Structure 1
Amino acid sequence: MRITRRHGLVLLPALLAGCTVFPDRPNVPVRRYGLAPRRPESRPPRRGGPVLLVRSLRGVPGLQELGLRRVRPEGGYDIAPYEEWIAPPADLAEPALRAWLLDSGLFAAVVAPGSRAEASLVLEAQLTRLEAAPAAGEARAALSGVLLREERLSARILAPLEVSATAPLAANAEPPAQAEAMEAALGGAFTALERAIAQAIR
């Protein structure tokens, strides 16, 4: 079918009208949060101490979402649609954990996979909980894993690791305060993990 200039002018208003048939959607800005707990004090690397390799930190199912995770009073979970971490929580917790353990003073160095440094200790861990529970007045974080000693042809398990921590959270806390409390809870879990590792390598 041949469309003339006159026909085109007739069709143009109809096409423009077709672009407005969808209902307006609310323009809600997404707020994003970092996750990098800082230890209260930093100690220098231990001269002559062991080198620790921290393997990639994994997140259990449910902790791979960007949205902040909140526990409902009846026990279910909500994932906030417009309140997000800047990356999956485990991806953010991994470099933070390495920095935390490096500043513990327990190790000569703390390295990542791919490093050419020869590590005598290996930490394999996963993030098992990171959530706000306003009804309970707290935020929660937990990690589990295993500490290995690298030997010539094998690795020996030094200790299984299972740690958790909480941080206070007001019942009416807004998402920024929830994210801050979850970060504090994760710092508490890092403290417990550091303590467990120190005990295992004594």
Structure 2
Amino acid sequence: MTLKRRHVLLATPLALAGCGGILAKQPYVARSDWPLAPPPPGSGGVAGGRGVVLVRGISAGPTLSERGLITQLADGSVHVGYYNRWATSPAQATTAALIAWLQASGRFAAVVGDGSALTPDVIVEGTLDTLLADPTTHVARAALTLVVAKPVGISERPLAQRRLTATAPLAGPTAPDLVAAQRAALAAVLGQAVGMVVRAESRRG
């Protein structure tokens, strides 16, 4: 073994030990899972209304298949958070929240999800297009494209289709700020969704 190679081999453990000391000083950052579903308001109608509403699983738009909190950057690109994320996927949380909000409205005999044995009078489905915080404009944005249809035999007849959008003020750049603003924006969209389904159900004949 040459003298030069022996020096390299001897130096390597010392170099690794030095790197280990640096790595050991890096603080550990735990991931935080934030619940998304905003609670529904109190009943806005007469309990035990007419009609059974089936809410199919809401689909996820681009980037929303991941659980990380989304922040829109100044150049228009988006950043998907690694350390701060939703407890469940945004589309899944929106599906559960929409069912809860429709139930809380008191305007339907029953509101069910996929797999229910009840025969629906109205079917609701859609896509969560947007759920993000925009620190540049100090707002959070949510958008949900919703379709309400009436079963007709083995097919369906559309009753209404809309893209529902809402914004909410963003107080600051911290994770709790981002979460609160996005929840508020989604709550505003869910309120619109309930009104849309109520109107469509009243026209189904």
Deviation at 1:40, TM superposition (A): 2.6
Name the residue aligned to 1:52: 53
Name the residue aligned to 2:102: 101
**What is the aligned-residue identity percentage?**
34
Deviation at 1:148, TM superposition (A): 0.7
Relative to the length of structure 1, the TM-score reads: 0.84
Name the residue aligned to 2:9: none
Relative to the length of structure 2, the TM-score reads: 0.83
Name the residue aligned to 1:122: 123
Q: Would the alpha carbon gap of residues 19 and 168 (structure 1) be closer, same or farther in structure 2, given more than 3 Å must change?
A: same
Name the residue aligned to 2:66: 65
State the one-letter code of the partner of 2:170. L
CA contact (8 A) 2:49 2:107 kept: no
Q: Secondary structure at the match of 1:103?
A: helix
Deviation at 1:97, TM superposition (A): 1.0
Q: Secondary structure at the match of 2:28?
A: coil
**Matched ranges for 1:78-97 at <5 A:** 78-97=79-98
Structure 2 portions without partners, runs of 5+: 1-11
Name the residue aligned to 1:176: 176
Name the residue aligned to 1:193: 193
Structure 1 portions without partners, runs of 5+: 1-13
Q: Secondary structure at the match of 1:201?
A: helix
Deviation at 1:21, TM superposition (A): 6.4
Could you tell me how far apart the structure 2 residues matched to 1:192 and 1:29 are? 36
Could you tell me how far apart the structure 1 residues matched to 2:17 and 2:112 are? 54
Deviation at 1:146, TM superposition (A): 1.0
Q: Would the alpha carbon gap of residues 46 and 161 (structure 1) be closer, same or farther in structure 2, given more than 3 Å must change?
A: farther
Q: Deviations over 1:57-100 (max 9, x none)?
A: 11112001111000112211111221111121111121111001
Deviation at 1:155, TM superposition (A): 1.2
Q: Deviations over 1:120-144 (max 9, x none)?
A: 1000111110000111111111100
Deviation at 1:26, TM superposition (A): 4.0
Name the residue aligned to 2:78: 77
State the one-letter code of the partner of 1:63. L
Could you tell me how far apart the structure 1 residues matched to 2:95 and 2:118 are? 18
Name the residue aligned to 2:8: none
CA RMSD of aligned residues (A): 2.3
Could you tell me how far apart the structure 2 residues matched to 1:35 and 1:45 are? 28
